Structure 1
Amino acid sequence: MTDQIYTVSCHILNSHEGKPLEKITCELHELGLDGSYNLASQETDKDGRVGKDLWKIKKEKFVLSAGKTYMIRFQTKKCYYDIIKENTLYPYIDIPFLIAENDSRTHYHIPLLLNNFGYTTYRGS
């Protein structure tokens, strides 16, 4: 493993309405063989984003490392669909991602395009 510093941000858009979703709780977890560790959380801003420097840290200190798997949990039902009183298939959406040993990119952006009964994601920039 390297001593490289990695960062992560995320973004959520309602693809049905074409608008960002504000105040969605996003939780950053590290996934390991012995379970999941909640590292940080934050609500999305008015543009539906959590910037790389805006996470509220749960642990005293953590560093994202190459060769490890992380996950962002988007709390879609309780933070959005319950409020607007619409049904959804997904109470939350987990998007796991791997920081590869040989990846020269140091920033990971995890976008979520959401509608009531489906979603998609991709490697953002």
Structure 2
Amino acid sequence: MAEGYLTTHVLDTATGRPAAGLAIALFRVTDSGLTRIADAVTNADGRTDTPILPKAAFEPGTYELVFDAGDYLRATGQAGDEPMFLDIVPIRFGMSDPDAHYHVPLLLSPYGYSTYRGS
């Protein structure tokens, strides 16, 4: 069994705080489509309570994290007019090293976002 794993967190750059209560789904991407493999909600620190993909379930491959930014922005009063500029934020990425910890954070505001490979 591979030792790699995946974590994520969300920071609200408009408020300068962690994004608590934001729903996240993780999908494995294959030639036949997307397979949903995990769901989580961020805690008060903007992180999931456990790795969204733990070591025991890790497999190298292509994945997609889908952040429900719209519901979070609505709940925090940052949504603006409908339709919102940002609603669902998908981030597709690859994990090739079976021994690595991958960390894919989301920096979010109502009108933009960024990500990077963290540590």
Cα deviations across residues 78-120 of structure 1 (Å, max 9, x unaligned)? 2x122234224121111111012xx375211111001111100
Could you tell me how far 1:7 is from its partner in structure 2? 0.9
Of 78, 84, 91 in structure 1, the residue corresponding to residue 76 of structure 2 is 84
Shift of 1:4: 2.2
Q: Which moved further from structure 2: 105-114 or 83-92? A: 83-92
Q: Look up the match of 1:97.
A: 93
2:109 to 102, 112, 115: 115
- Secondary structure of 1:82's match? helix
Does structure 1 retain, via aligned residues, the 8 Å contact 2:6–2:52? Answer: no
- Could you tell me the TM-score, scaled by structure 2's length? 0.84
Bigger CA drift: 19-28 or 80-89?
80-89
What does 1:1-125 align with in structure 2 at a 5 Å threshold? 3-51=1-49, 53=50, 55=52, 63-66=57-60, 68-78=61-71, 80-85=72-77, 86-87=79-80, 88-100=84-96, 103=97, 105-125=99-119
Q: Could you tell me whether the CA contact under 8 Å between 2:19 and 2:42 is conserved in 1? A: yes
Q: Percent identity?
A: 28
- RMSD over aligned CA atoms reads 2.2
The 3-state SS of whatever aligns with 1:50 is: coil
Q: How much does 1:13 deviate?
A: 0.6
Q: Take 2:76 and 2:57, find their aligned partners in 1: how far apart are those partners?
A: 36
AA of the residue aligned to 2:93? F
Stretches of structure 1 that go unaligned for 5 or more consecutive residues are none
Aligned length: 114
**Is this contact kept in 2: 1:74–1:93, CA < 8 A?**
yes
